[in-house]
Structure 1
Amino acid sequence: MLAETICSAVSAAGLGIAAISAYRRRFLTATRIAAYALVPIGLVLTGVVEWLTGIVFEPVVWLGFGLLAVAWLLFVTARTVERRGGGTRKERKAARAAGRADAVAPGASAPNLTAGSTAPSGSRAGNAKKKGPAATGGDDFSDIEAILKKHGI
Structure 2
Amino acid sequence: MLAETICSAVSAAGLGIAAVSAYRKRFLTATRIAAYSLVPVGLVLTGVVEWVAGIAFKPSVWIGFGLLGVAWLLFLTTRTVERRRGTTRAERKAARAAGRSEAVAPAASAPSLGAGGAAGPAAARPKPKKQPEAAAGGDDFSDIEAILKKHGI
Task: Give the TM interval when normalised to the shorter protein.
Answer: 0.5 to 0.7
- Give the direction of change, closer, same or farther, for the CA distance of 1:99–1:9 in structure 2 (3 Å limit): same
The aligned counterpart of 2:112 is: none
**Equivalent residue, structure 1, for 2:108:** none
Per the alignment, in what secondary structure is the counterpart of residue 78 of structure 1? helix
1:121 CA displacement: 1.7
Q: Distance in 1 between matches of 2:20 and 2:101?
A: 80
Structure 1 position 53, deviation (Å): 0.9
State the one-letter code of the partner of 1:128.
I
Q: Does 1:32 align with 2:19?
A: no
Residue segments in structure 1 that go unaligned for 5+ positions in a row: 113-118, 133-153
* AA at the equivalent of 2:95: G
Aligned-residue offset at 1:46:
1.5
Partner SS state of residue 104, structure 1: coil
- 1:80 corresponds to: 80
Q: 1:75 to 1:3 in 2, by over 3 A?
A: same
**CA offset at residue 127 of structure 1?**
1.4
Q: Verify: 1:128 aligned to 2:147, yes or no.
A: yes
Q: Which runs of 4+ in 1 moved over 2 A?
A: 23-26, 100-106, 108-112, 128-132
Match of 1:104 in 2: 100
Partner secondary structure for residue 65 of structure 1? helix
Trace 1:1-153 onto structure 2 (pairs within 5 A): 1-85=1-85, 92=89, 94-104=90-100, 110-111=122-123, 120-131=139-150
TM-score (norm 1): 0.66
Q: What whole-Å deviation, never above 9, does each CA across 1:44-95 have from its counterpart, x for those lacking one? A: 11121112111111110110000000000011111112211289xxx54x34
Q: Does the C-alpha gap of structure 1 residues 60 and 50 become closer, same or farther in structure 2, counting only changes over 3 Å?
A: same
What is the root-mean-square deviation of aligned Cα atoms in Å?
Answer: 3.0
Amino acid at match of 1:96: R
Change (3 A) 1:15 1:129: closer
How far apart are the structure 1 equivalents of 2:122 and 2:2? 78
Q: TM-score, normalised by structure 2?
A: 0.66
The number of residue pairs the alignment matches comes to 122
Change (3 A) 1:102 1:45: farther
Q: Distance in 1 between matches of 2:73 and 2:13?
A: 42
Shift of 1:6: 0.6
Unpaired runs of 5+ in structure 2? 103-119, 125-137
